[in-house]
Amino acid sequence: MSMTPLQMCTVRLPAALVEAVQQIANERGLTFSDVVRSALQSVVELDPAVRHYATLLYEISKTRSVLLRLLDTQLTKPQVDTLLAMAEEDATNYVRERLGGSNGTV
């Protein structure tokens, strides 16, 4: 890492996370602290655009999950399949339109 003086910080972690970090450290020949510092640094330095994209992707996935669960409880399988096929076509067309072309795959 760098020659910057380090400060000690105490955190409480679940045992499973400690084990996972230790396993990664062992596999990579690093110390536990090296792995934790690297992970924290990557979160702190995450590009705002990437963070925004990740947040949008999470929200879209969450919304999709809610809608699929709702469909599964309210409609028959053939109805759900038809609706999903229509939605896929609409989404594909929308993305193609937004990307400025109508040929090729999405």
Q: Which of 2-11, 21-30, 57-66, 71-80 has the lowest mean pLDDT?
A: 2-11
Residue 3 has pLDDT above 80, yes or no: no
Residue 44 has pLDDT above 50, yes or no: yes
Residue 48 has pLDDT above 50, yes or no: yes
What is the helix (H) or strand (E) element at residue 44, kind and residue range? helix 32-44
Which is nearest to 7 in space by CA: 37, 48, 29, 42? 37
Helix axis angle, 15-28 relative to 32-44, nearest 10°?
A: 100
Q: Which residue has the higher pLDDT, 94 or 49?
A: 94
Using the CB atoms, write b or e for 5-34: b if 16+ within 10 Å: eeeeeeeeeeeeeeeebeebbeeeeeeeee
Domain ranges in the chain are 15-44, 76-106
DSSP 29: T
The pTM of this model reads: 0.46
pLDDT tens-digit map of 22-34: 999 999 999 999 9
